[in-house]
Amino acid sequence: MAVSLRDVRMIYRSGTRQVLALDDVSVDFPPGTFSAVMGPSGSGKSTLLHCAAGLDRPTGGVVSIAGTPLGDLDETALTRLRRDRVGFVFQAFNLVSSLSAAQNVALPLRLAGRRPAAGEVTAALAAVGLADRARHRPSELSGGEQQRVAIARALITRPAVVFADEPTGALDTRTSRQVLDLLRALVDEHGQTIVMVTHDPVAAAMADRVLLLADGRLAGELTGADAGAIA
Ligand code: ADP
Ligand code: ADP
């Protein structure tokens, strides 16, 4: 299993107030599947994504990535697993503005103390259709191109799973479409596993399955096609 959650519970405490953000959620994200997570604001989508990606530790339950239960790892080992096995794509792209597209894509390898192999970064940029933009800075790229650079960066370590948090949230309809087609192709052609939080039914329609969250619980599951029909 690329990622599995078993009875994952998350309670936020601030002062005397407690928020039950995830209420014993169990779900699997099998290799080579594209899952979308939808639900109203405050339903726990970000918390689910952060726990599944090892960014936050849940209050209870077990999250495993590629068979490793995250609770068994200390902070150093968890950081290493995230760096080596997980890719992230954010709504706001999160590219480094002073670096070229190629340098941004190479960043996860550099952070892992690796020098990119010849052609490795070029191949990653080519995979997202941006071979000719390698030397461009983010400010010289369109929003859709910036998000595709961010996707190439997320894929450069060949992660077990890519987590995407509203990846089309900052894009217009046409560039959203390009990014969604790319994510779909990664699953269909490379067997990538993707978990995407989205508010956008058009984005959810690209997924194999759409998990519906409500009040921190899984409230249902649709096919991508059904979610698209709601759009
Ligand atoms: P969504 O992504 O669906 O909008 P979140 O996972 O961000 O939902 O939040 C779920 C619930 O947990 C909400 O009630 C939210 O206010 C609360 N919450 C999220 N993060 C924190 C936090 N760091 N501290 C306290 N409450 C939080
Ligand atoms: P988004 O919908 O863009 O994910 P959120 O409002 O869900 O934005 O959360 C943004 C950040 O704020 C998250 O890191 C979350 O943990 C934190 N957060 C959300 N709700 C609360 C809250 N009630 N108290 C403290 N932090 C919160």
pLDDT digits (tens, 9 = 90+) for 25-45: 999 999 999 999 999 999 999
How far, in Å, is the centroid of ligand 1 from the Cα of 9? 13
- Biggest CA pair distance of the chain: 55
How far, in Å, is the centroid of ligand 1 from the Cα of 47? 6
pLDDT digits (tens, 9 = 90+) for 173-214: 988 998 999 999 999 999 999 999 999 999 999 999 999 999
ipTM of the complex: 0.73
Measured distance CA(105)–CA(9) in Å, rounded = 34
End-to-end CA distance of the chain: 31
pLDDT at residue 231 is higher than 70:
no
47 CA closest ligand 1 atom index: 6
Whole-prediction pTM value? 0.87
Q: Taking residues 10-17, what's their average pLDDT?
A: 94
43 CA closest ligand 1 atom index: 3
Residues in Cβ contact with 27 at an 8 Å cutoff, skipping those fewer than 6 apart = 4, 5, 211, 218
How far, in Å, is the centroid of ligand 1 from the Cα of 181? 30
Bridge partner residues of 11 (DSSP): 20
CA angle at residue 120 from 2 to 193, to 5 degrees? 15
10 CA closest ligand 1 atom index: 12
Name which residue sits closest to atom 26 of ligand 1, judged by CA. 12
* Choice from 22, 23, 37, 47 to test ligand 1 binding pocket (greatest atom count within 8 A of CB): 47
Name which residue sits closest to atom 5 of ligand 1, judged by CA. 44
Name which residue sits closest to atom 21 of ligand 1, judged by CA. 12
pLDDT at residue 215 is higher than 80:
yes
